[in-house]
C-alpha cells in the first residue's frame, strides 16, 4: 500500500510542468516505465497516468520513445482497468511523431482502437474514435477492419 501511495503522489506531481525537470533527475520516468509490467493493477494505473502526464513535454516524450516505452504502453491497452487504458490511449496520441507513428499506429493498435470505439464506455469509445480519425490513415483503419473480420482479436475491453 505504501508503494501505491508513493506512485500515486509521483503521478500527481507529473501533472505539473514545473516538476518535470525534478522528476527526470530522480529517474521517475524509468520508474513509471518499469511499473507498467507489475502484476498490481493499481501500480500500473498510477504509472500509466504519470507517463500520460509527462509525455506532453518534448524532452520527456523523446526520453520515453528512446527508452522503448511505446511497447509497454501498448501492452497496457489490454488492462482490465479502464483508467489505465484511457491513459495508454492518450499517451499513444501524445507520443505519436513522424518517427514513432509506425509503432503507435501499428495494425494491432488500430484493431484495438476499432474495438474500443464500440465500447459501452462513452469516454473510451470517444477517445478511440479520436485516435482513429486523427492519428490513423483511412487505409490503416480499413486494413484493420478487414483483418478483424477474419480473426479473433485477443485484447479484451476493460471492465467498467
The predicted-structure confidence for 112-133, as pLDDT tens digits, reads as follows 999 999 999 999 999 999 999 9
Q: Which CATH architecture has domain 1-100?
A: Alpha Horseshoe (1.25)
Q: For position 147, what pLDDT does the model report? A: 82
157 pLDDT above the threshold of 70: no
148 pLDDT above the threshold of 90: no
155 pLDDT above the threshold of 60: no
Beta carbons of 143 and 107 less than 8 angstroms apart = yes
The predicted-structure confidence for 9-64, as pLDDT tens digits, reads as follows 999 999 999 999 999 999 999 999 999 999 999 999 999 999 999 999 999 999 99
The domain ranges of the chain are 1-100, 105-153
2 pLDDT above the threshold of 80: yes
Map 77-132 to HEC letters.
HHCCEHHHHHHHHHHHHHHCCCCCHHHHCCHHHHHHHHHHCCCCCHHHHHHHHHHH
Angle between helices 41-54 and 28-35 (to 10 degrees): 140
Amino acid at each position: 500500500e505504501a508503494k501505491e501511495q508513493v506512485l500515486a503522489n509521483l503521478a500527481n506531481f507529473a501533472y505539473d510542468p514545473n516538476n518535470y525537470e525534478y522528476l527526470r533527475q530522480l529517474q521517475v520516468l524509468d520508474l513509471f516505465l518499469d511499473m507498467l509490467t507489475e502484476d498490481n493493477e493499481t501500480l500500473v494505473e498510477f504509472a500509466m497516468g504519470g507517463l500520460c502526464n509527462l509525455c506532453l513535454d518534448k524532452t520527456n516524450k523523446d526520453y520515453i520513445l528512446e527508452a522503448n516505452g511505446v511497447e509497454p504502453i501498448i501492452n497496457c491497452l489490454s488492462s482490465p482497468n479502464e483508467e489505465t487504458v484511457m491513459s495508454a490511449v492518450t499517451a499513444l496520441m501524445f507520443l505519436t511523431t513522424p518517427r514513432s507513428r509506425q509503432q503507435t499506429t501499428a495494425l494491432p493498435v488500430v484493431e484495438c482502437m476499432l474495438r474500443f470505439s464500440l465500447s459501452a464506455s462513452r469516454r473510451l469509445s470517444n477517445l478511440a474514435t479520436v485516435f482513429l480519425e486523427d492519428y490513423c490513415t483511412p487505409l490503416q483503419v480499413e486494413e484493420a477492419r478487414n483483418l478483424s473480420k477474419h480473426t479473433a482479436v485477443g485484447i479484451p475491453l476493460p471492465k467498467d
